[in-house]
Amino acid sequence: NAGVTQTPKFRILKIGQSMTLQCTQDMNHNYMYWYRQDPGMGLKLIYYSVGAGITDKGEVPNGYNVSRSTTEDFPLRLELAAPSQTSVYFCASSSAPSTARGEQYFGPGTRLTVT
């Protein structure tokens, strides 16, 4: 059981470039999330999705876009990369937070550097 997978694991971008971070989960979770974690800090929510075709902004959405065409996949798009987007990006999924356990399962992360 793979859980939540993310690609790539590492990436270096030049300022102004764009890229897509991939996230896939095989647990049939409706809820998926993208977080960023800056060095020594906690997690900040970028975007989340409650099901295919439904996405919404989190705390820090500027400079990012998402889509959710399937239950399994939740890619994060960075447009016009800036040094401030240097961070570690985690994708997570969960069953509905209001039912059952609702804990999140995290992917291994993508370490992104923008120079």
Partner 1 sequence: ELKVEQNPLFLSMQEGKNYTIYCNYSTTSDRLYWYRQDPGKSLESLFVLLSNGAVKQEGRLMASLDTKARLSTLHITAAVHDLSATYFCAVAGGTYKYIFGTGTRLKVLA
**List of residues contacting partner 1 (CB under 8 A):** 31, 33, 40-43, 45, 48, 50, 56, 58, 90, 92, 96-98, 101-109
Q: Which 3 state secondary structure label does DSSP give 101?
A: coil
Give min distance, CB of 80 to partner 1, in A.
27
Task: Between 62 and 98, name the residue whose CB sits nearer to partner 1.
Answer: 98
CB of 1 to partner 1, least distance (A): 15
Q: Please give the structure tokens belonging to residue 66.
A: 């998402």
Query: Residue 65 or residue 106: which is nearer to partner 1 going by CB?
Result: 106
Q: What are phi and psi of 7, to 5 degrees?
A: -140, 145
Write the DSSP symbol of residue 73: B
Rounded CA separation 30/96 (Å): 7
